[in-house]
Structure 1
Amino acid sequence: MDDKATDGAASPQGASEEGALVALVRDLVHELRPRAAPPHISRQSRLEQDLGVDSLARTELSARIERTFRIRLPLDRIGQAETVGDLLAAIEHALPGEAHDPARVSARQPLPPTPAPAEARTLIDALEWHVAHHPERLHLTVLEDDRIEIGAFTYDALARRARRIAAGLVARDVAPGDRVAIMLPTGLDFFAVFFGVLYAGAAPVPIYPPMRLAQIEDHLRRQAGILQNAGAKVLVTLPEGLALAALLRAQVDSLDSIESAATLEREPEAALPAIRDDTQTALIQYTSGSTGDPKGVVLSHANLLANIRAMGEAIGAGSSDVFVSWLPLYHDMGLIGAWLGSLYYAAPLYVMSPLRFLTRPANWLWAVHRFRATLSAAPNFGFELCVNKIDDASIAGLDLSALRMVANGAEPVSVYTLRRFTEKFGRYGFRREAMAPVYGLAENAVGLAFPPPGRAPVIDHVDREALTRKGFAQPAREGDATAMEFVASGQPLPRHEIRIVDPTNRELGERREGRLEFRGPSSTAGYFRNEAKTRELVRDGWLDSGDRAYMANGDIFVTGRIKDIIIRAGRHLYPQEIEEAVGLIPGMRKGCVAVFGAIDPRSATERVVVVAETAETDADARAQLTARAHQTVSEVSGAVADEIVLVPPHAAPKTSSGKIRRSAARALYEQGCLGAPKQAVWRQLTRLALAGFRTQARRVLASLRNLLYACWWWVAAALGYVIVWLGVMTIPTLAGRWSFSRRIARATLWALRIPVETEGLELIPPTNAALVLNHCSYADAILLAATLPGEPVFIAKKELAGQFFAGPFLRRLGAQFVERFDIAGSLADVETLVDAARSGRNLVFFPESTFTRRAGLTGFYLGAFQIATQAGLSVVPGALRGTRSMLRGGQWFPRWSPLGLSIGAPLTPTGKDFAAVVKLRDEARKFVLAHCGEPDLDQLVKPAPTPR
């Protein structure tokens, strides 16, 4: 199609394409709304607002376009298409269609077997172990679809790129313990940024990017809440998303910087802190919000590795496995189960975007075929989509026989879907034993219960009356048409425990339904900055899953969410069972039904409300759907629905992983907002900008306050320095100069309203001592002048001796000038310093030698400790706090910060040899590190040399 066709003066070929596309769209719209009047369709027709083509219908439309035009559509354009004209443009940029070749499998040779890093304590350890043992081993490949590979990482390539990104984060003042949000789609950038955050010592917070601009307001409002709760310091997103991300910054106080992977990689490589503490936070995983407001699950390196190892042990994972995944990386199943698990066991991972799967579900299965995958995973709706949207003609020759296990989890497993999938794809080599219904939750990293490998799904038939009224999962009689069916989720993972308890926390026996609780090494310590929810989660060492379940023959059978179960006349009604049945009614949208209980304000009883999406607009047809829904609810549950609410597509709220948000649906129902039309994108963006006005106003006022304070700081500091300089240059005695300087320094700190906390000053000997302190800032001088007793001898770098003001000033205070990096290199310097100490004055060393803007304690040079050892001086360690925050190196904008000085007990040299010097240094540094409040930068992960 040429430009004229795009502009309206269509060429014959362009007119033919447009006519065929319009016909396809018209047929689809008629199927969606068979009784509605045929709409007028033009280039300007909006797919969603005008024609009712939602995400699932868009998937079907894409498949029909590809079949009709024999092309392969660019999926990013399809995903963002808003109008019929956008679809025409996508056709113009499409590639020729290719038939799938069943004989085409990966040409790569199987990788040699390798063990897992069993001694690794952190994720960094695991990656570095692989880099050390097989740096060029293929780790992961990103797929466009089953035929096109976008890029790949070896273990070494991933580590190198992650270190560069970490250097960029450190340059932006990201310190260990900070949180960095990652809003990136599936791609090489995500993997590199995730490990880059870990290398910098920070905690990654993955959040999902917006699918389409039409959903921008709800998306950004939700992400703003997550970022605010996480206190994210940096947000990393796509370059194209920087403008939209700025709307988030307007609403999040903590957000200092919005970056892309490219902007972070511009910084030069740097030494990075080694993360050796396995209790350090490795991930803050926000729950999907299916049962309420999102909560940040805090997971340590130890939690993640324990879960990965337990899952691997349960399924016999190893380096000979191959994993194919389309799962989103902001969700635990895709992030931990697919990616980090594959990384740990050195199993090659082939990963594609969820959009690629949703638009063309066969991509997943063909990728399994091509790469001979042994492992994969999906939530229930993924299997359902494959059954409904993949026709036999498109998978002729497909071979799924290499699969030994496909985990079915992240949402309730439907017996109906399970049977249909295994029946349909059994003809293509999929073995029933490969289907593995599993159970897990974010609060336990990802997995909690797995079935034994090679076991076909176990389905339990339960007497409805006994379960709903008595909570007893009594096996149903054979042929009982009212029986309820539940799928076994397997047994607890190794070293993890599960129990079922009643409302009094008493453990229940076999086949008794109650609340599922768990504990084990994968369990979170709680929710980030949410003590109230953490107290609800953890009880006497056991964690509350929020699910109801029963155990039978060692297996876990999950019956539903506690908050979602409806109690009617003493009977428990299970929403998911009703939702699935109503969704199967022709005209209803499957997977888009929400069932919840709403309290009747008049009778105070719980009403059963069913919200169902439908594209039907004809009044008579809607009345028939309502009647059919009432009948279905009664047949399935034995109860009567109080209200059936039919709403248009997209009205039922869902989580990012596609699960119905029943609590949110209830809230919209009670507010009368269900089915309210979405506003134009510009209105949404305007409202978001206005919503951020208050935060922006607070930022402006804070910036103004900071600027005024900085001005006052410099006025007070400059005035204090001038007064001290004049006094020092005129007062005749050394003791008088120091006494005068001490009073002015204290007055300056008082004028700046800076609190100073000191401890241990009484431990400083009056003579024959060497004080060793960390060096953080030029502001160190103010704090030390105000707090140190006597007339200390400051050891200054020789460069200061020649300065016009500083040189004479420091000499009058008795300072000594030495080589910066080689204090003990000059015999004359050593003798001068020792004489000063023995004359009744203490030496003050900064063994770090210099300071940087980056927070952290660097290595100590040995010179000061060698002098102390040779002269028999006791070493007094001291830790400065707050001065770097007040005035960072390389910056001249001071900020208010409380200051502190902690002095440790004197250390006596144990000898005069080199070992004694090193021991003295290490003991002194240990005290400083424990009291300075900054991370250890001495033990460094050095950047690997770049290959030539």
Structure 2
Amino acid sequence: EHLDRQAAILANAEASFLITVPEGLGAARLLRARLPALRALLSPQELAAEGGRLHQRRAAHDLALIQYTSGSTGDPKGVALRHANLLANIRAMGEAVDVRGDDVFVSWLPLYHDMGLIGAWLGSLYHGHPLVVMSPLAFVARPQRWLRALHEYRGTLSAAPNFAYGLCASRLTDEDLEGLDLNAWRVAFNGAEPVHAQTLERFIARFTPYGFHRSAMAPVYGLAECSVGLAFPPLGRGPLVDYMARDSLEPGRRVRPADAGDPHASHIPACGRALPGHELRIVDDADRPLPERTVGRIQFRGPSATSGYYRNPQATAALFHDGWLDTGDYGYLADGEVRITGRAKELIIRAGRNLYPYDLERAVAELPNVRRNGVAVFASPDPATGEERLVVLAETRECDPEARERLRRRIHECAVAILEIPPDDVVLAPPRTVPKTSSGKIRRSACRELYERGALTQRRAVWRQLARLRLAGLLPSLRRLSAAGARLLYAGYAWTVFLAMAGLMLLATLVPRESWRI
């Protein structure tokens, strides 16, 4: 599936050459067989050996990069970003956090992710402060390496998705952290996926003894369509969390406060105000602005905003609403700061209620024998009635039938306790079943597609998948060979006719006219 997605992206981008590490050239050849426009495959070493540089001047309105979002395989959405968009976003983020010349940014984020590329790499180049770069694999293998780098290089700025903070808070032992000093870390950006209030508190409690300041934790909000960042909290404030009744978070409703200990309360972190020079608003489905503390669709505008999706006019038309861009998220404003309640396309309509999957996913992930970041909750239509069914997918290594049945009952109890309705189906699947984006976010729509095909619990052999891709790649080649063969046969036929006619004409000139008579 990953190569299918890459092939769709490259076809949409009309890519003519592809650069990859030597280890990736085998997979790249599978892609090349399916993409006639892809003329060359290069490794960085081969590219460096080519010699001279390209000296081309670029204007602010020129296309800088195309950033593909995690859409469906058949409909890739490439966010077209111009140089002016990137520069505006980098400047605005720098102003929001008061970037200084003595700052040090420490990052393990991959450079194919917007937070790693734009926020860390390009931002550090623009502002002229040091950047310490680590491999994402180094962090995943030993999360303490990230914190040790912050300690060693006196890092002041760093960013990570929510799961990374949770991983450090739960996995690292006192021995792993011996001698650690995080006192210099002044802004800890937490974004790129839904921010969990519980994770914020766990991380702060765990690392306060090691010099981490509560005021450094900064839940942020952004999206590819705004380059990367859109809303940042006030500098040095620390996390601010709303406790709201879960049933009041439906679109169009005014949120209702709840007690922090209420089991039916949602904990919603504030992600701050729009960056300098940018605007946010909350609207209903008719694009009418809503008052504060009323849930609606989040829209924005500003100099960081994309001009549209590359070669996708339908998606571009749906993105713009009278000069504002639709984020695809639901949320509300309180005191000018935005709170995110969920993705519009992930909203589950069940028994006349609108449900978000996130609280249940977090609760199920905490159960014994369930893999963290291996839970997806989504809706799937009932083939008989057409009504949406609530499905819980959880990865587990548990094989014992009785233990699996107990786990299903626990998941059922979680759903009733949190959503007040039971799940229609609980699927226990082996590890690495839940599809994720390149940045680790769960692809719930892909989960639903696999579920409806009955493919969630099927483990296809790798050699079969590679063979399928190879055969798929051979089809265009066979078509090209067939077309070339047809052209060759036609050329041969044409030459045969031409030579026969030429021969007859030559014969006519050599034979005396009198011999023509019978």
User: Under a length normalisation based on structure 2, what TM-score does the superposition of the two structures give?
Assistant: 0.91
Residue 324 of structure 1 aligns to a residue whose secondary structure is strand
Q: 2:2 aligns with which of 205, 216, 219?
A: 219
Partner of 1:264 in structure 2?
Answer: 47
Partner of 2:155 in structure 1?
Answer: 373
C-alpha contact (below 8 Å) 2:5/2:73 kept by paired residues: no
Partner of 1:683 in structure 2?
Answer: 464
Partner of 2:346 in structure 1?
Answer: 564
Q: Does 1:692 align with 2:476?
A: no
- Deviation, structure 1 residue 219: 2.6
C-alpha contact (below 8 Å) 1:550/1:558 kept by paired residues: yes
CA distance in 1, matches of 2:388, 2:455: 20
Partner of 2:173 in structure 1?
Answer: 391
Partner of 1:247 in structure 2?
Answer: 30
Residue 258 of structure 1 aligns to a residue whose secondary structure is strand
Residue pairs, 1:509-908, within 5 angstroms: 509-680=291-462, 682-700=463-481
C-alpha contact (below 8 Å) 1:290/1:659 kept by paired residues: no
Q: Is the alpha carbon distance of 1:318 and 1:676 closer, same or farther for their aligned partners in structure 2, counting shifts above 3 Å?
A: same
Q: Does 1:333 align with 2:115?
A: yes
CA distance in 2, matches of 1:469, 1:302: 34
C-alpha contact (below 8 Å) 1:292/1:664 kept by paired residues: no
Q: Does 1:274 align with 2:57?
A: yes
CA distance in 2, matches of 1:574, 1:667: 19
- Deviation, structure 1 residue 653: 1.2
Q: 2:193 aligns with which of 411, 414, 418?
A: 411
Partner of 2:502 in structure 1?
Answer: none
Residue 422 of structure 1 aligns to a residue whose secondary structure is helix
CA distance in 2, matches of 1:478, 1:588: 26
Residue pairs, 1:917-928, within 5 angstroms: none
CA distance in 1, matches of 2:24, 2:260: 58
Cα offsets for 1:891-945 (capped at 9, x unmatched): xxxxxxxxxxxxxxxxxxxxxxxxxxxxxxxxxxxxxxxxxxxxxxxxxxxxxxx
- Deviation, structure 1 residue 388: 2.4
In the alignment, residue 673 of structure 1 is paired with which amino acid?
A
Partner of 2:499 in structure 1?
Answer: none
CA distance in 1, matches of 2:384, 2:488: 58
C-alpha contact (below 8 Å) 1:291/1:662 kept by paired residues: no
In the alignment, residue 69 of structure 2 is paired with which amino acid?
T
Q: Is the alpha carbon distance of 1:312 and 1:710 closer, same or farther for their aligned partners in structure 2, counting shifts above 3 Å?
A: farther
Q: Does 1:444 align with 2:237?
A: no
Partner of 2:255 in structure 1?
Answer: 473
Partner of 1:491 in structure 2?
Answer: 273
Residue 465 of structure 2 aligns to a residue whose secondary structure is helix
Q: Is the alpha carbon distance of 1:292 and 1:230 closer, same or farther for their aligned partners in structure 2, counting shifts above 3 Å?
A: closer
- Deviation, structure 1 residue 532: 1.0
C-alpha contact (below 8 Å) 1:426/1:432 kept by paired residues: yes
In the alignment, residue 155 of structure 2 is paired with which amino acid?
A
Partner of 1:302 in structure 2?
Answer: 84
CA distance in 2, matches of 1:477, 1:621: 35
CA distance in 2, matches of 1:393, 1:451: 33
CA distance in 2, matches of 1:366, 1:233: 41
- Deviation, structure 1 residue 613: 0.9
CA distance in 1, matches of 2:379, 2:8: 27
Residue 249 of structure 2 aligns to a residue whose secondary structure is helix
Residue 590 of structure 1 aligns to a residue whose secondary structure is coil
C-alpha contact (below 8 Å) 1:375/1:406 kept by paired residues: yes
Cα offsets for 1:752-798 (capped at 9, x unmatched): xxxxxxxxxxxxxxxxxxxxxxxxxxxxxxxxxxxxxxxxxxxxxxx
In the alignment, residue 342 of structure 1 is paired with which amino acid?
S
Partner of 1:323 in structure 2?
Answer: 105
CA distance in 1, matches of 2:57, 2:62: 12
CA distance in 2, matches of 1:578, 1:687: 36
CA distance in 1, matches of 2:31, 2:356: 38
CA distance in 1, matches of 2:126, 2:251: 46
Partner of 2:509 in structure 1?
Answer: none
C-alpha contact (below 8 Å) 2:264/2:418 kept by paired residues: yes
Partner of 2:133 in structure 1?
Answer: 351
In the alignment, residue 269 of structure 1 is paired with which amino acid?
G
C-alpha contact (below 8 Å) 1:253/1:699 kept by paired residues: no
Residue 215 of structure 2 aligns to a residue whose secondary structure is helix
* Greater radius of gyration (CA): 1
- Deviation, structure 1 residue 586: 1.1
CA distance in 2, matches of 1:292, 1:280: 27
Q: CA RMSD in A?
A: 2.1
Q: Is the alpha carbon distance of 1:486 and 1:656 closer, same or farther for their aligned partners in structure 2, counting shifts above 3 Å?
A: same
Partner of 2:500 in structure 1?
Answer: none
CA distance in 1, matches of 2:360, 2:74: 21
Partner of 2:13 in structure 1?
Answer: 230
- Deviation, structure 1 residue 708: 11
Cα offsets for 1:33-60 (capped at 9, x unmatched): xxxxxxxxxxxxxxxxxxxxxxxxxxxx
Residue 346 of structure 2 aligns to a residue whose secondary structure is coil
Partner of 1:194 in structure 2?
Answer: none
CA distance in 2, matches of 1:700, 1:263: 30
Unaligned runs of 5+ in 1: 1-217, 712-948
CA distance in 2, matches of 1:517, 1:229: 26
In the alignment, residue 391 of structure 1 is paired with which amino acid?
T
In the alignment, residue 690 of structure 1 is paired with which amino acid?
L
CA distance in 2, matches of 1:341, 1:394: 31
CA distance in 2, matches of 1:414, 1:452: 19
Q: Is the alpha carbon distance of 1:469 and 1:529 closer, same or farther for their aligned partners in structure 2, counting shifts above 3 Å?
A: closer
- Deviation, structure 1 residue 707: 9.6
Partner of 2:65 in structure 1?
Answer: 283
Residue 70 of structure 2 aligns to a residue whose secondary structure is coil
CA distance in 1, matches of 2:31, 2:441: 25
Residue 330 of structure 1 aligns to a residue whose secondary structure is coil
Residue 2 of structure 2 aligns to a residue whose secondary structure is helix
CA distance in 2, matches of 1:480, 1:611: 26
User: Under a length normalisation based on structure 1, what TM-score does the superposition of the two structures give?
Assistant: 0.50
Cα offsets for 1:97-121 (capped at 9, x unmatched): xxxxxxxxxxxxxxxxxxxxxxxxx
Bigger RCO (CA 8 Å, 6+ sep): 2
Cα offsets for 1:593-614 (capped at 9, x unmatched): 1101111232222111111111
Paired-residue identity, %: 55
- Deviation, structure 1 residue 565: 1.1
CA distance in 2, matches of 1:355, 1:542: 38
Q: Which moved more, 1:480-489 or 1:333-342?
A: 480-489
- Deviation, structure 1 residue 246: 1.1
In the alignment, residue 258 of structure 1 is paired with which amino acid?
L
- Deviation, structure 1 residue 559: 0.3
Q: Which moved more, 1:307-316 or 1:474-483?
A: 474-483
Q: Which moved more, 1:602-611 or 1:322-331?
A: 602-611
Count residues in correspondence.
492
In the alignment, residue 518 of structure 1 is paired with which amino acid?
F
CA distance in 2, matches of 1:703, 1:407: 56
